[in-house]
């Protein structure tokens, strides 16, 4: 049963500008393993985290670094959850989290579906 759906679209140039003007922003949002030299991929990960928060109902108190966007051996993205995010996932009875990320033409977007 689907318990949450989220989608987010991020303009790569706008994300890049926010990173440039806000010292420490990348460390606030991403774990060290998520840091990348490609702003396009970073914007995609940001969109994924935003979409996930929306699928969870956009609760307050979530820590950005308690969810990490990773890739399996085939390159498929998935979330690794800890702390505040893992607690909310358990509380909501979420068993499966589907994630899709894309980026093209200066836009990064992500869709998340949470199933019980």
CATH number at residue 36: 3.90.470.20
| Active-site option among 54, 71, 76, 98 | 54
Give the rounded distance of the alpha carbon of 5 from its chain centre: 13
CB 104 within 8 A of CB 85: no
Q: State the pLDDT at residue 36.
A: 84
Alpha-carbon distances of 26 from 11, 45, 62, 104, rounded to whole Å: 16, 11, 16, 21
What is the pTM (predicted TM-score) of this model? 0.95
| Active-site option among 28, 76, 98, 103 | 103
> Kindly report the CA angle at 75 between 50 and 113, in degrees rounded to 5?
35
**Count of domains forming the chain:** 1
Residue 103 bears catalytic tag: yes
Where in the sequence is the domain holding 102, given as residue range(s)? 2-115
Query: How far apart are alpha carbons 69 and 32 in whole angstroms?
Result: 11
Per-residue pLDDT of the chain (116 residues; tens, 9 = 90+): 999 999 999 999 999 999 999 999 999 999 999 998 899 999 999 999 999 999 999 888 889 999 999 999 999 999 999 999 999 999 999 999 999 999 999 999 999 999 99
Termini Cα distance of the chain: 5
Residue 71 bears catalytic tag: no
């Amino acid at each position: 049963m689907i318990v949450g759906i989220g989608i987010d679209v991020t303009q790569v140039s706008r994300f890049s500008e926010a990173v440039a003007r806000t010292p420490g922003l990348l460390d606030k949002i991403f774990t060290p393993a998520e840091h990348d030299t490609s702003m396009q991929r970073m914007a995609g990960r940001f969109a994924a985290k935003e979409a996930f928060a929306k699928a969870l109902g956009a609760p307050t108190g979530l820590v950005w670094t308690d969810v990490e966007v990773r890739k399996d051996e085939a390159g498929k993205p998935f979330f690794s959850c800890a702390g505040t995010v893992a607690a909310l996932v358990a509380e909501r009875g979420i068993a499966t989290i589907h994630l899709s990320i894309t980026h093209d033409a200066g836009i990064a977007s992500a869709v998340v579906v949470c199933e019980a």
